[in-house]
Amino acid sequence: MIFGGILTRCQTESCTASENWFNGKSMLAAPKMAKNVLWIDCLSGAIVGCYLLLLSGWLSGLYGIPQSLVVRNGMVNLAYACFSFSLAMWKGRPAWMVGLLAVANASWMVVCAVAAWQLAGQATVIGLGTIVFEGMYVGWLASVEWAMRERLGQR
């Protein structure tokens, strides 16, 4: 109910910076940057995926988690990057596909939260921090893409 009130009020009145962030009206959502959200999303997924796969052995030790988990995370990031890349390239993408991308980001945020909780006794502070940061980042992307799905969907 709180978020619904913020969404309604922000459509009719001026909002605080934190309320605008929730609604995807951040600096990234400015008209000039709106078209780049999908590119930012796919490039960040591809970069992180490659980074995780190429350095999985070293990162496993740094993060204090099994290498197989680092590799799986890298593969998921690359698969996700392919999906978001296809949307970024697609001129006639429907808004519901952008919404699906936002739901995928929100789902990954939940996966990151569960992973951080389950690995709390095993992972290093750097490993947990990385997982938590990734969850926060994809959660932010989810909120921006969800709020902008109609604008990003080109009919």
pLDDT, one tens digit per residue, over 78-119 is 999 999 999 999 888 899 999 999 999 999 999 999 999 999
Q: pLDDT, tens digit, for every residue of 126-143?
A: 999 999 999 999 999 999
Domain extent at residue 16? 1-27
Record the pTM.
0.77
Q: Residues 50, 1: one domain?
A: no
62 and 17 co-located in one domain: no
Distance, in Å, from the CA atom of 89 to the CA atom of 39, rounded to the nearest integer, reads 9
From the list 48, 30, 28, the residue with the least C-alpha distance to 141 is 28
Are 3 and 41 in the same domain?
Answer: no
Same domain, 1 and 52: no
The verdict on 16 and 76 lying in the same domain is: no
Same domain for 41 and 12:
no
Whether residue 3 is found in the same domain as residue 71: no
| Total count of domains within the chain | 2
Residues 61 and 90 in one domain: yes
Q: What pLDDT, on the 0 to 100 scale, is given for residue 92? A: 85
Note the pLDDT tens digit of each residue in 60-81. Answer: 999 999 999 999 999 999 999 9
